Chain A
């Protein structure tokens, strides 16, 4: 090695000719390495000039530091990729969700370990792939920054260690007295594991008392059927088999248990091409989405729904005989009905009775879960007479329910409750008002509340413990039909929370994890367990109970009593429906649900006192007037909303609003109906006073009439059969031509959508599905009042006919993806352009925000970001200032985890609109290319289509003649919205068909043409 001597470059190698020449010029160049303009410090530098230079550079460095440079942030890539994990590819897990006692199967989308979206599990018999808005919005609750983060003791932050030490002391004293004085209050529990633990608890502490309270739970059905049979049973309806449905105050499409599966099975029969259409008669107080789908809606006030049922039952029994009904019952029914014959038009009664009788075994009578037990007993009897049991309705044993809140309340007032453990729920907010539960709660010596977020109840608790979200913990749920699903978590608890089962295990003195607890319940083999997790279903529906004959278990007495008490009902009634979005207030801090328009009133961010026009005139009230309602010494101030279809002398106030202890989103929204509610569906003889003040309400649709335009096209089944092309014929146009040469779309995939207005129930699940899929911000009440709601899909709702008997029609409207899109022509920067696959694409980066496209959009589906709405969310946070140009706020860091990474988060100043879920189309296309196959029907499912419980939305390739969407588009009742504009929309509608009774058709038609 030593022989080889590296030669210096200046030796033999030369860099240039001047180097080789090595003249004085070059030597000078080598010395002055930095040429012109660069000064080199000479030796003669003074201390003074050095300091000057240093000072200047320090100052400049300061300037640079505060504005341009970002601090170093380290990225940590996976050193080893987890198995089956492909960055950017979402993974779906089957799980299940419980709302009240209602269970739905869910497929949860996980993006890099973060659950981002919930979809219905098609394999689950209670969801069939569909979900309602509140199910889908539950994912937002997971990331809610207003959750309880850690255990809190007497309002101070604490930890589980402290709690456990405290609990150990408590448990030993409890054990000493066998649990005497200890009470446990749970909300609806349908988890086998939880039930198992409750049993264990009872064994450990025999004197422990367990109570149950849930704002969504009503025991009336089971009680009613017990009156008629002696067995506590609950019905499960099979609408798919029912030709004639009579509903007494039931909102089975709305928020009653099983509404997802009911919506699916009901809607299957609203499609005139796929079999015989059903016919729905609905008796109801205020317009519900069930009533809006009814072929005959009979408006009666809440206290008269039961008398209406008597009238129908009495007429039916007279014509069909009493079947196995005892004479006492029959007598009671006739006796009760006699005073109320005026309630329902005899023609209508006759139509219902003849329809029911001609469809024995294929008809169905249902009653609202909130209705009195006698109604349920009567309905049971009617279904029995009609032979519907086991045909259109099956019965299963009611889950044995624990003691009710009233008993707990009694115990509390006696002062005999020492420790009260509350698992979930919010009884202080939603207990019947006469219980004065909050006051009584103060008598308990220790209250331990396991809760998702702080609420009215946790405020009174000594210990507030964070409860895990269902996406954070293991569990199991049994649906009303007996099918069981495993609740599979998608993420470790974000905060220091425990599931309700883990909490109970703690009370047993153990510290089992939720996983072990569930595994212990099911004792499954590994392969069976994996299969359950994969499918999301452990077992299918349990078999139904045999039909119990109607026998008088206090039925006739109850009926007579009810007839007497209803006879005295007078004055203005206040009815308390469960809110379509917030339910019993459990979702009050959920922005998506607060901003989800009520299907009927289109109110957002508030509830209101719905009142009929006639009653409003009588009380000289108008929309937005604040009224004071007094009843039994309780009172409530609430703004009025004049609502079509509302019964006279009746005021409906949605529950779930007006929460006082709630997070930042739910603060100051609506009025609390629970301050009047006393456990029953309605109260009578309320005093209503005008206060003279006004409260402004926000609605997303201000105009409810179609103005005689052929927007939603509708006909009766009879008309449709005679004129199958009626929808197309409603508009006459001259041959239309485009100003430009029209592009031909005849190759590749051409996407299109078909929306069946006959199936659509207006439930608005699609809005939330779209919102969670597409990172759509909420805008808040003030912005909503100014028409700036950002939803890409909206549910247009129109009323027809006279105000009292208004018929309702819904139309989901989203970007129609017109082939001749008017928006595209006017955009000066070509930010909205057509794709080869027929999509009207929006290029956010290119958008300048002139809003011309929106002006030229005939259906006004474009949404403009007037502000940066994500930043203005009440839960947004100040951004850590890393450099000068950092925005001042950003979405909460946890909420950001919900964002769909496949969809751009739009900034202020750009236009946005429905993309047909282009991210899903692209993903499917890429996958198909990798697999070298063609996309087939069903490979691309848009978010709205996926969630729609009614199956009203179809999407696919319209060039594929076998696709569902092209078949739907080929139907005779297909029509184009605003066809006269020659838009050539890709989204088309199927006209709505109603099926009124022929003898009543003139009534309907008259109303139609009014």
Chain B
């Protein structure tokens, strides 16, 4: 491959040739003039050391040249489309499969309605405000439960990370809690709190907190010792070592734990709302249960879609965005993607 570069006919390598006589910023200026700007990642117009730029120009560097897609200035719309079309295609495929199963006559339509009817029902329920009301009730529970789990999980995780004895004592217990299906807590929760909000909340917290604590624990374990050493040498000790080095270094893993905690909270909540029916609060779970009791298959599927959509929305908009921001800031965007 280097031979191709030495032959001189590789246009993407040219900015580095220009950078040879220039100053520190020579490489960058030339790149933007020639339109070699990565639109979705403007921060990564790789700065070049003048010396290194000269070296590259002399030797030719195929890896860098190949990383820069040549020419064109795709706008924001195009980037959005590039991100959206695979998702839309997958959605279309899923709907098609669903429709085909319905058309095959495997089950009568009053038991398994097609996507058309269900989406129409979703739309009317949305317009009628039912979905808004139910989603508000459910999301309020989810957020409250998650907030409590966050505080409990972080507190627990930090304690176990700091105190070795506690960790030896309670570490495996925590893993046990995490692997325990949260539905299994409900009989006890109902005994303790009756059919109440508290019963649901308790199980949501029990579902989410261990994941958050374990996420914190493993992510602090994986902090590179070199960074800790560097921090200590510069005078960070005790609590300030945690605040300035260990917690920021552990952030990517911690956010992964938060995300998993959310998934568990959401599942526990759905289970809870199906088991603990509180009549005057028409939550999503209550609506699901009523649909089943009324043999309203259309409604049932429509409400299931609501559950799925809300899950995807929170995951993508909150945790996905958070993860992306952290990863991009640290240059952890996957090269293989």
Do the two chains bind?
Answer: no
